[in-house]
């Protein structure tokens, strides 16, 4: 069984195209779309870790993620058409069923396609209204976000936020409170009050935690009320981080930041947002969008884009302890994609 699978992969990959795979990211879940982007009959071209994929959904099937390549003559299956629960290649009309197997060759109605005539397929899960894909064998579940089901919170799905930056740089930025006064002036920080007090950092098998990051914010909740606020962060996967922000009067805002690595210098952020206070949907999304757009200019100007894991490549200041712990953790995990040694 294993051997058959290996042969199928080799055939589907065009007989020799080699890809350097980062096992950590390859075996993790990544968001590729909103579920609502894939109504029955939809075909969507996407990219993950430099791989071109096609997402599609038949009339009564779950969402499928395949290599975006017809194994017959290597054209893109994302140019194809969904008919009932099959995908039909645009070139010679070969018909593929939901398992990726070719079941019909129009030029030869009696011809039975060989078992190798199948597309390389990937695992898909839907959660939080998002479509997650794993290119390898998933080693963990999709990261939990308990507030999503908690009736005490209002929840919002924000994104996609595409950015021509390395996904690891985007996560590091998410953890970095020292940029607030200068990048998010008047909202998340004040250049007149830039001091960042010491905070706690721990690393364990769950990831990296930053605890008690305290900052002054002119408008921490998007409702125009200045306050000292405290952040707790957790990096749960190399490209997934969570924050919990404690504000005045017990107001809490939490975000799960899911960053999709399109390629080494391009990513897409998706954010699950939960608050325990009243804010209109449009206001919450507009607030988040303002913050993200302010971040993009810095993120896209990193050079190199890769995140240096050699601690001597960039210099560090005391409040970088969180990002240093993140880099050390990535190094320990053995990450190779999107990093510099
Ligand atoms: Fe797809 Fe021939 S290339 S049917
Ligand atoms: Fe920012």
141 occurs within a structural domain: no
| Whether the predicted pLDDT of 122 surpasses 50 | yes
Residue 91 Cβ inside 6 Å of ligand 1? The answer reads yes
pLDDT at 225: 79
CB–CB of 48/261 below 8 Å? yes
140 occurs within a structural domain: no
Domain range for 17 is 2-134
pLDDT at 15: 38
CATH number at residue 7: 2.102.10.10
Q: Which of 270, 200, 209, 211 is nearest to 239 (CA)?
A: 270
pLDDT in tens, 240-254: 999 999 998 899 999
Cα 66 to ligand 2 centroid, rounded to whole Å: 34
Q: Which residue reads 């939990």 in tokens? A: 144
The mean per-residue pLDDT over the stretch 306-326 comes to 96
Atom of ligand 1 nearest to the CA of 73: 3
107 occurs within a structural domain: yes
What is the C-alpha separation between 290 and 283, in angstroms, rounded?
10
**Per-residue confidence band for 12, with pLDDT thresholds at 50, 70 and 90:** very low
139 occurs within a structural domain: no
**Of 88, 110, 134, which closes a domain?**
134
**Per-residue confidence band for 223, with pLDDT thresholds at 50, 70 and 90:** confident
Verify that 130 and 273 share a domain, yes or no.
Answer: no
- This prediction has a pTM of 0.93
Residue 79 Cβ inside 6 Å of ligand 1? The answer reads no
Ligand with an atom nearest the CA of residue 179: 2
Burial class of residue 250 (count of CB atoms within 10 Å of its CB; 0-12, 13-18, 19+)? exposed
| Whether the predicted pLDDT of 332 surpasses 80 | yes
The mean per-residue pLDDT over the stretch 308-327 comes to 96
Verify that 57 and 157 share a domain, yes or no.
Answer: no
pLDDT at 281: 87
**Of 134, 161, 189, which closes a domain?**
134
The mean per-residue pLDDT over the stretch 15-39 comes to 85
**Per-residue confidence band for 220, with pLDDT thresholds at 50, 70 and 90:** confident
Cα 14 to ligand 1 centroid, rounded to whole Å: 13
Verify that 169 and 302 share a domain, yes or no.
Answer: yes
The mean per-residue pLDDT over the stretch 50-57 comes to 98
**Of 134, 163, 186, which closes a domain?**
134
Lowest model confidence (mean pLDDT) among 202-211, 222-231, 266-275, 294-303: 222-231
Verify that 123 and 255 share a domain, yes or no.
Answer: no
Verify that 299 and 171 share a domain, yes or no.
Answer: yes
What is the C-alpha separation between 306 and 264, in angstroms, rounded?
7
Q: What is the mean pLDDT of the chain?
A: 92
Verify that 197 and 255 share a domain, yes or no.
Answer: yes
Cα 191 to ligand 2 centroid, rounded to whole Å: 14
Verify that 161 and 64 share a domain, yes or no.
Answer: no
What is the side-by-side strand order in the sheet with 227-237? 154-163, 266-275, 252-263, 240-246, 227-237, 207-217, 200-204
Residue whose Cα lies nearest atom 4 of ligand 1: it is 92
The mean per-residue pLDDT over the stretch 104-110 comes to 97
Residue whose Cα lies nearest atom 2 of ligand 1: it is 92
Cα 225 to ligand 2 centroid, rounded to whole Å: 19
Q: Tokens at residue 175, please? A: 């953890």
**Per-residue confidence band for 38, with pLDDT thresholds at 50, 70 and 90:** very high
State how many domains the chain has.
2
pLDDT at 224: 74
Verify that 69 and 167 share a domain, yes or no.
Answer: no
| Whether the predicted pLDDT of 17 surpasses 70 | no
CB–CB of 103/119 below 8 Å? no
Residue 33 Cβ inside 6 Å of ligand 1? The answer reads no
């Amino acid at each position: 069984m294993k051997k058959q699978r290996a042969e199928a992969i080799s055939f589907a990959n065009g007989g020799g195209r080699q890809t350097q795979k980062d096992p950590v990211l390859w075996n993790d879940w990544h968001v590729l779309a909103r579920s609502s982007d894939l109504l029955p009959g939809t075909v969507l071209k996407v990219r993950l870790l430099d791989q071109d994929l096609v997402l599609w959904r038949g009339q009564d099937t779950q969402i499928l993620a395949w290599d975006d390549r017809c194994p017959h003559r290597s054209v893109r299956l994302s140019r194809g058409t969904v008919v009932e629960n099959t995908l039909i290649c645009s070139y010679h009309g070969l018909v593929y069923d939901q398992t990726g197997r070719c079941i019909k060759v129009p030029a030869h109605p009696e011809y039975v396609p060989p078992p190798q005539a199948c597309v390389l397929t990937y695992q898909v899960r839907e959660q939080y209204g998002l479509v997650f894909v794993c290119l390898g064998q998933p080693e963990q579940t999709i990261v939990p976000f308990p507030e999503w089901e908690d009736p005490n919170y209002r929840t919002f799905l924000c994104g996609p936020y595409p950015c021509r930056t390395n996904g690891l740089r985007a996560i590091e930025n998410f953890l970095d409170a020292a940029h607030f006064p200068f990048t998010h002036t008047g909202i998340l920080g004040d250049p007149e009050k830039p001091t960042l007090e010491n905070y706690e950092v721990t690393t364990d098998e769950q990831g990296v935690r930053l605890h008690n990051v305290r900052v002054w914010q002119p408008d921490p909740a998007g409702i125009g009320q200045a306050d000292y606020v405290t952040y707790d962060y957790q990096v749960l996967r190399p490209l997934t981080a969570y924050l919990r922000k404690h504000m005045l009067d017990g107001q809490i805002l939490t975000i799960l930041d899911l960053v999709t690595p399109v390629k080494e210098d391009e990513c897409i952020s998706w954010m699950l947002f939960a608050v325990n206070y009243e804010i209109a949907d449009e206001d919450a999304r507009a607030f988040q969008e303002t913050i993200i757009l302010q971040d993009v200019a810095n993120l896209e100007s990193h050079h190199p884009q890769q995140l240096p894991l050699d601690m001597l490549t960039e210099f560090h200041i005391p409040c970088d302890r969180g990002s240093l712990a993140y880099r050390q953790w990535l190094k320990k995990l053995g990450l190779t994609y999107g990093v510099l040694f």
